[in-house]
Amino acid sequence: MTSHITLPSPSNDQTYMTVSALEGGHIDIPVGRFLEGAPKSERNIVPAMAFLLTHSKTGTKLVFDLGLRKNIETFPTVIQKNIRDIMPVRVDQDVSDSLIKGGVNPISDIPYVILSHLHFDHIGDASLFPNSTFIIGGGSRKLLKDPYPQNPNSGFHIDCVPNDGRTRFLDDSDFSTTIGDFPRAYDFFNDGSLYIIDAHGHLDGHINVLARTSPTGGWIYLGGDTCHDLRQFEGGGFACERNEKGEVIYCAYSDIHAAGVHLDRVKGLRKMKEDSISTLSGNGKALKKLEADPENSHLETPAMMNAIYYEKVRISSPDLEEINIALRRLFSLGFLKCAQYLFRRYPILKSYSKYLVVIERKHN
Ligand SMILES: [Zn+2]
CA of 165 to the centre of ligand 1 (A): 24
Strands 182-187 and 194-198: antiparallel
Q: Identify the pLDDT of residue 270.
A: 62
Yes or no: say if 200 and 254 are a contact pair by the CB < 8 Å rule.
Answer: no
Confidence class for position 235, pLDDT limits 50, 70, 90:
confident
9-42 exposure pattern, b = at least 16 Cβ within 10 A, e = fewer: ebeeebbbbbbbbbbbbbbebbbbbbbeebeeee
Q: Identify the pLDDT of residue 51.
A: 81
User: CA–CA separation, 245 vs 239, rounded Å?
Assistant: 17
User: Percent of the chain having pLDDT more than 70?
Assistant: 71
CA of 119 to the centre of ligand 1 (A): 5
Q: Identify the pLDDT of residue 350.
A: 41
Confidence class for position 5, pLDDT limits 50, 70, 90:
low
CA of 117 to the centre of ligand 1 (A): 7
Q: Identify the pLDDT of residue 219.
A: 74
CA of 115 to the centre of ligand 1 (A): 11
Sign of CA dihedral 219, 223, 224, 229: negative
**Helix (H) or strand (E) segment spanning residue 263:** helix 256-268
CA of 298 to the centre of ligand 1 (A): 36
Three-state DSSP class for 169? Answer: strand
Q: What is the mean pLDDT of residues 270-293?
A: 32
Q: Identify the pLDDT of residue 223.
A: 81
Q: Where are the beta strands (DSSP E) in 240-304?
A: 241-242, 248-250
Q: How confident is the model over 246-258, as pLDDT tens digits?
A: 888 889 999 999 9
CA of 203 to the centre of ligand 1 (A): 7
CA of 125 to the centre of ligand 1 (A): 16
Q: What angle do CA 184, 19, 124 make, to 5 degrees?
A: 80
Q: Is the pLDDT of residue 271 over 50?
A: yes
Q: How confident is the model over 284-339, as pLDDT tens digits?
A: 222 222 222 333 233 223 233 233 333 333 333 334 444 445 454 444 433 333 34
Confidence class for position 92, pLDDT limits 50, 70, 90:
confident
Q: What is the mean pLDDT of residues 1-27?
A: 77
Q: How confident is the model over 327-350, as pLDDT tens digits?
A: 544 444 333 333 444 444 444 444
Q: How confident is the model over 58-80, as pLDDT tens digits?
A: 999 999 999 999 999 999 999 99
Q: Is the pLDDT of residue 42 over 70?
A: yes
Of 294 and 101, more confident: 101
Yes or no: say if 202 and 137 are a contact pair by the CB < 8 Å rule.
Answer: no
CA of 6 to the centre of ligand 1 (A): 28
CA of 312 to the centre of ligand 1 (A): 32
Q: Is the pLDDT of residue 81 over 90?
A: yes
Q: Is the pLDDT of residue 217 over 80?
A: no
Q: How confident is the model over 149-205, as pLDDT tens digits?
A: 999 999 999 999 999 999 999 999 999 999 989 999 999 999 999 999 999 999 999
CA of 206 to the centre of ligand 1 (A): 9
Q: Count Cβ atoms below 10 Å from residue 271 Cβ, excluding itself.
A: 17
CA of 89 to the centre of ligand 1 (A): 14
Of 364 and 99, more confident: 99
CA of 88 to the centre of ligand 1 (A): 15
Q: Identify the pLDDT of residue 208.
A: 92
The domains found in the chain, sorted by start residue, are 17-277 (3.60.15.10)
Q: Identify the pLDDT of residue 230.
A: 66
CA of 227 to the centre of ligand 1 (A): 9
